Structure 1
Amino acid sequence: MKKYPKTFPDNFFWGGAIAANQSEGAYLEGGKGLCVADINRFNADVDIKKKSNEEITMEDINFALTDKEGYYPKRTGIDFYHRYKEDLKMLAETGMNSFRTSINWARIFPNGDESEPNEEGLQYYDELIDEVIKNGMEPLITVSHYEMPLHLATEYNGWYNRKTIDFFVRYCEVLFNRYKDKVKYWILVNQINLISFESFNHLGIPADRVENLAEAKYQGVHHELVACARAAKIAKEINPKMQIGMMLFDAISHPASPKPEDVLATVKRNQMEYFFSDVLLRGYYPSYAYRFFEDNHINIVFGETDEEDLKNTADFLTFSYYYTRISDAESVKKKNTAYINPELPESDWGWSIDPIGLRTALNLYYDRYQLPIMITENGIGAYDQVNEDGQIHDHYRIDYLKKHIEQVKEAIADGVEVIGYYPWGPIDIVSCSSSEMSKRYGFIYVDKDDVGKGTLERKRKDSFYWYQKVIASNGENLGY
């Protein structure tokens, strides 16, 4: 009888993941244009735990472009643009054999609609990717991670406009040709199902420029799905060995009660979270999606070749995992949404902590697709304190990651083909949703506060040395 291993495979990717817009800074250097993340303002007067980049209007954009007093942390990041060599060298000390980052679309096509790319931007990523490889790490590159050129949002309404398909495919083709012999693994769109919390950052659709925002979002997603499928085809033509991944934000919810109404409502809700991966991994629109669009009075316009294009599917699934939620008939009926399970502990930011939920998600996704899976984000945002001795004792982070890695190992024993694990923000970076620095995820502390003050000095936390031991033992030594 076949038995699945109870250990991590020898070729497992132990990595770490960041995004260009949250780390690089240098927002106007090297010929870069403005991207959608460059207008994310830090606002200490807003409840940070509830802040998101959900809806942005043209008024918001124009304010950010003329604002002389506000602080926009993603414009400076942690200065990774200038410090990436020392940062990658330090990260490599953990033993990481893979590193995920994104390419800022606006560095390659400053406005997004140019016919030729910005060579200076490409040269920067030439050197960055070379440095990743030099440090013994396999590059995992995200093509679109909330870095759409702002011009595409203001002039074209972002992904709502069908022209953006061609702009994105051109961008992908440039990258695939440039790095065909250096980058094997690609994620085309970060968390493609996240069209609520990161609506504008993701889709670039100004909320006041469309009549039906819900319909506009799904139309934009349709264009994005078609663009990804076309890009996947081009990648295989350039180098058949390229592996194209699609990425979800794990938003699967669990029934809040055993009531049949709650169970059914949760099933229907989860279907529309699977929708994105069903299309990109199976190659067609599932029947439940047509029912959802009909019930919600949403009309999706297909192009002549879209159905054929969508048959060019991705090779593997990746997802981010931070927390689980529960749903019931009422919550689904109101906003098709879910809420935090009150039985679970929470992080400082009110995110539930559910390690077993990760094993559940891995099993559900693998049962559905039978394709390799990477966990490309997992971690806990926390307030870190530098002690009088200069050390950062982040036992809470170690405990969180330890329990999640244990569940990944159990999922592998279940027969799930997990090929990589990438903790989010192995070095502290600017928060995606709240644009703050105090929400820290890293193994490496960066001396910078929420309003940009600090030396930018890097310090290894206790979790840094713990992750070293985890990797050196290939996941067998999780103690601390």
Structure 2
Amino acid sequence: MKLEFPKGFWWGAATSGPQSEGRFNKEHANVFDYWYDIEPEAFYNQVGPNVASNFYNSYKEDIRLMKEVGLNSVRTSIQWTRLMDDLEAGTINEQNVQFYNDVIDEFIANGIRPVINLHHFDLPVELYHKYGGWESKHVVELFVKFAEKCFELFSDRVTDWFTFNEPMVVVEGEYLHQFHYPNLVDGKKAVQVAYNIQLASSKAIASFRKINQNPEGKIGIILNLTPAYPASNAEGDLKASKFADLWLNQLYMNASALGEFPAELVAVLEKDQVLWSATEEELTIIRENTIDYLGVNFYHPHRVKAPDVSADSLAVDWLPEKYFDEYEMPGRRMNVDKGWEIYPKAVYDIAINIRDNYNNIEWFISENGMGVSREERYLNEQGMIEDDYRIQFIEEHLYWLHQGIEEGSNCFGYHLWTPIDCWSWKNAYRNRYGFISTDIRTQKKTIKKSGHWFKEVAATDTLDMTTEVR
């Protein structure tokens, strides 16, 4: 079976500054830099972000490898902690301005479209220690200063901008589930942080439209969408699914694409006395500065059931999970290395939801991928990793994405996470995701079988299915 994708389709991959560049020549530490400095044992094999995949020093060679696997677009991020000299004054580090200029120019010289994101979990830690990070609207204003510098410096060549990557992960990791520094559990703060990040995104979009130097320039946001499937059609399970979708998906989708937070969610948060502090002026900014297009990160579905304990039960603190429990569907397919369910059809469900409920906004798969540990198990005699499992994973997701496009969803691209194996926060290099492998001891990089396969797909805009879709 051959599947034809639209001409000009983005065939690419995504990474981020803090996960690829290393900490070379940085003025400031971000929250993960700091966490590693004070608690290295929290990170797999105590491997931190100091070197990552050495992109700061090897970007020319790395970009040539990306070209060799056929990528026509690559998303990365500009690090707030690298670009800025004085965070309060908004002054820049000229040496690192030159670095990002060189990176952008190198992508363009190699025929790769640079797609630039502004925040990838890398808040400067001093802004947390001084102001509480995203709890503070002053930090919102400092982020806007940083964004404006990026637009002034780089929008003459960069067409594609995104404000935040996975803002809900910041909310959950830092304030609910303790997998990002500062590892708090504080539902009220989590709700305010969710709002403040949306405000920061909308304000940055407003600035972009004043500063942007590129007539074709667009700006959006990257959201991790996890369709919330109910365990059954029972009323309690459906109600749990509804709230999970409101919190995990619609909060940012509605505010970013439609300019309003979902009314049902606002009503619940207000009833529970945790609703964010907002002004009419701020809400007007959010309403008037919606995104041009959307990036969707998808890895796994979310399956929920009615909570075992009533949502009205007394609790020390508010958590969104009072309204739903996790559900492990019997017989589900799993990536056992990562512990995530594999359910490619969710991509189709996302496509149709965007088509029907979000004005069929332009969008692309901005991350999708399969993290596998000990990939050296699959080295052949020529020294190449034969990652057929990754090829199958991509094929299945592209099949369902193609189905959504055929039915009218306005999707223009697919990016794998990630081009080159990169540092993955607390997991460090435990799981590998890339088209290109990294030996973290020598920084030798080698194209995997999936990279050679993807080059042919990208060159022809055609997927010749070898996998039976399940």
Same fold (TM over 0.5): yes
- In 1: Cα distance, 2:65 partner to 2:19 partner: 19
Residues 349 and 114 of structure 1: is their aligned pair in 2 closer, same or farther, counting only changes over 3 Å? Answer: same
Is the CA contact (8 Å cut-off) linking 2:254 and 2:260 kept in structure 1? yes
Is the CA contact (8 Å cut-off) linking 1:73 and 1:435 kept in structure 2? no
Letter in 1 for 2:297: S
**Mapped pair 1:410 → 2:385:** no
- In 1: Cα distance, 2:225 partner to 2:343 partner: 12
Please give the per-residue CA displacement for 1:181-210, whole angstroms capped at 9, x wherever unaligned.
1111111000122245532699987456xx
Residues 341 and 302 of structure 1: is their aligned pair in 2 closer, same or farther, counting only changes over 3 Å? Answer: same
Other-structure match for 1:474: 461
**Mapped pair 1:354 → 2:343:** yes
Residues 319 and 202 of structure 1: is their aligned pair in 2 closer, same or farther, counting only changes over 3 Å? Answer: farther
Aligned pairs for 1:142-291 within 5 A: 142-195=117-170, 197-199=172-174, 206=182, 213-239=186-212, 241-272=216-247, 273-291=249-267
Q: Secondary structure in 2 aligned to 1:73?
A: coil
Residues 143 and 331 of structure 1: is their aligned pair in 2 closer, same or farther, counting only changes over 3 Å? Answer: farther
Report how far residue 281 of structure 1 moved.
1.2
**Mapped pair 1:380 → 2:370:** yes
- In 1: Cα distance, 2:11 partner to 2:295 partner: 14
- In 2: Cα distance, 1:396 partner to 1:110 partner: 44
Letter in 2 for 1:217: A
- In 2: Cα distance, 1:393 partner to 1:193 partner: 34
Q: Secondary structure in 2 aligned to 1:302?
A: coil
Which deviates more, 176-185 or 340-349?
A: 340-349
Is the CA contact (8 Å cut-off) linking 2:171 and 2:194 kept in structure 1? no
Letter in 2 for 1:344: R
Report how far residue 252 of structure 1 moved.
2.1
Other-structure match for 1:45: none
**Mapped pair 1:345 → 2:313:** no
Is the CA contact (8 Å cut-off) linking 1:133 and 1:139 kept in structure 2? yes
Please give the per-residue CA displacement for 1:264-322, whole angstroms capped at 9, x wherever unaligned.
22112211221111011111233112212123320311135202211211111111110
Please give the per-residue CA displacement for 1:93-117, whole angstroms capped at 9, x wherever unaligned.
1221101001111002256323312
Other-structure match for 1:393: 386
Report how far residue 19 of structure 1 moved.
1.0
- In 1: Cα distance, 2:203 partner to 2:180 partner: 20
Is the CA contact (8 Å cut-off) linking 2:171 and 2:190 kept in structure 1? no
Residues 255 and 102 of structure 1: is their aligned pair in 2 closer, same or farther, counting only changes over 3 Å? Answer: same
Aligned counterpart in structure 2 of residue 92 of structure 1, from 53, 62, 67 = 67
Report how far residue 478 of structure 1 moved.
4.1
- In 2: Cα distance, 1:265 partner to 1:203 partner: 24
Q: Secondary structure in 1 aligned to 2:243?
A: helix
Aligned counterpart in structure 2 of residue 302 of structure 1, from 246, 260, 278 = 278
- In 1: Cα distance, 2:99 partner to 2:228 partner: 41
Residues 124 and 340 of structure 1: is their aligned pair in 2 closer, same or farther, counting only changes over 3 Å? Answer: farther
**Mapped pair 1:446 → 2:438:** yes
Report how far residue 328 of structure 1 moved.
1.1
Residues 478 and 181 of structure 1: is their aligned pair in 2 closer, same or farther, counting only changes over 3 Å? Answer: farther
Report how far residue 40 of structure 1 moved.
4.6
Residues 387 and 119 of structure 1: is their aligned pair in 2 closer, same or farther, counting only changes over 3 Å? Answer: same
- In 2: Cα distance, 1:184 partner to 1:413 partner: 27
Other-structure match for 2:297: 320
Aligned pairs for 1:32-111 within 5 A: 32-41=27-36, 63-64=38-39, 71-109=46-84
Which deviates more, 10-19 or 304-313?
A: 304-313
- In 2: Cα distance, 1:341 partner to 1:187 partner: 34
- In 1: Cα distance, 2:463 partner to 2:356 partner: 26
Report how far residue 342 of structure 1 moved.
3.3
Which deviates more, 273-282 or 105-114?
A: 105-114
Other-structure match for 2:318: none
Other-structure match for 1:14: 11
Structure 2 length-normalised TM: 0.88
Is the CA contact (8 Å cut-off) linking 1:40 and 1:72 kept in structure 2? no
What percent identity do the matched residue pairs reach?
Answer: 28
Is the CA contact (8 Å cut-off) linking 2:80 and 2:119 kept in structure 1? yes
Please give the per-residue CA displacement for 1:399-431, whole angstroms capped at 9, x wherever unaligned.
111111111111111110101110001211112
Letter in 1 for 2:239: L
- In 2: Cα distance, 1:387 partner to 1:217 partner: 47
Residues 340 and 238 of structure 1: is their aligned pair in 2 closer, same or farther, counting only changes over 3 Å? Answer: farther
Runs of 4 or more consecutive aligned structure 1 residues displaced over 6 Å after TM superposition: 200-205
Unpaired runs of at least 5, structure 1: 1-5, 42-60, 449-453
Report how far residue 221 of structure 1 moved.
2.0
Q: Secondary structure in 1 aligned to 2:220?
A: strand
Is the CA contact (8 Å cut-off) linking 1:266 and 1:327 kept in structure 2? yes
Other-structure match for 2:88: 113
Aligned residues: 443
Report how far residue 251 of structure 1 moved.
2.2
- In 1: Cα distance, 2:13 partner to 2:152 partner: 25
Please give the per-residue CA displacement for 1:205-231, whole angstroms capped at 9, x wherever unaligned.
7456xxx82111221221221121111
- In 2: Cα distance, 1:30 partner to 1:457 partner: 22
Is the CA contact (8 Å cut-off) linking 1:113 and 1:152 kept in structure 2? no
Letter in 2 for 1:424: W
Aligned counterpart in structure 2 of residue 125 of structure 1, from 100, 119, 143 = 100
Residues 342 and 218 of structure 1: is their aligned pair in 2 closer, same or farther, counting only changes over 3 Å? Answer: same
Residues 342 and 118 of structure 1: is their aligned pair in 2 closer, same or farther, counting only changes over 3 Å? Answer: farther
CA RMSD for the aligned pairs? 2.5
Is the CA contact (8 Å cut-off) linking 1:191 and 1:248 kept in structure 2? yes
Please give the per-residue CA displacement for 1:55-106, whole angstroms capped at 9, x wherever unaligned.
xxxxxx8x34999xx9342121011110111011011112211010011110
Letter in 1 for 2:197: E
Report how far residue 242 of structure 1 moved.
2.1
